[in-house]
Structure 1
């Protein structure tokens, strides 16, 4: 191994302390890969990254399908729970003659075996639709004042 440095001036750092940089010719040669080898390394790296992207896309697809499945299960469970709560409330009402049970969430109204929520906020149709989906509910369109 051969040491290589330029001059003593190059060996002084900003504070005037002596520094020395040793470079091996063998290591310099090792750092310079042949052009064909560099292309091959780039090709390998590119393929590895492409595989990684493909795996992530596949995982994202799987997670999206799982999310949809879980959302469907959640809707079915909510519907089942709603039916059970309605049945229980009807039975309590019939047995006690005026039980004030409600199968609906807080601040919702129970009418005709269904739960309703009224909002005074003004929203676009699409905004209401998104809100209802987030609340695991459906939007009701009322065509006449009599229904209210």
Structure 2
């Protein structure tokens, strides 16, 4: 409709009056013509200007206005959707971080529980081993006590010239300590009681001592791994009597137990056997 033109027509009809026809004498031909009705017409065509067409409201313009606002509306909708998507993504990210943190916490708790269980099992195993060792040590001490009592009650020991809690045998007094300490400390202890660490001089003495010992230090040591075993009084050890087993390759001190003598680290904590001559 905006491209079509509108045409306005003005029609004017003129009929000469009778008086005018009387006043103007015309020839015959003209007279005949005057008798006829003459019609004059003026046709005027008007085309509206561009300004008028712009001012005239049309349905096309009304249809174009929504279309011109459509991009702005779409932009707004897309913006809102983007904001909603960003908010949703942020919420999901927060939930994911919280879930991950919770999972890590549960894993840490599980690890701590596992470590705690392992510690309990380890402690239980150590306690069982300690109990086993204590039981064995108790049995050994009971056997040692029984043997010492038998020796103390033998004939000839009733009139012992040894101090109390010492055992006399063949002119010697023996003392089995109860405190566990290093070889050097045991040596000092025996010296403080007027004695020395045990020196086994013959097989008879070895047979007497052997059933009474239970991991006791004796007065046998060496200066180095390649050095010979020496008694505390400086006498060299004879391998004809017994051999020192290399239980600990770096051991420089001799530890006696039922069945033999073995090398051990001098810093180990064990009991000891002191000896001295019986009073005449």
TM-score tier by shorter-chain length is: 0.3 to 0.5
Higher strand share: 2
Larger Rg: 2
Bigger relative contact order, structure 1 or 2 (CA pairs below 8 A, ≥6 apart): 2
TM-score, normalization by structure 1: 0.42
TM-score, normalization by structure 2: 0.23
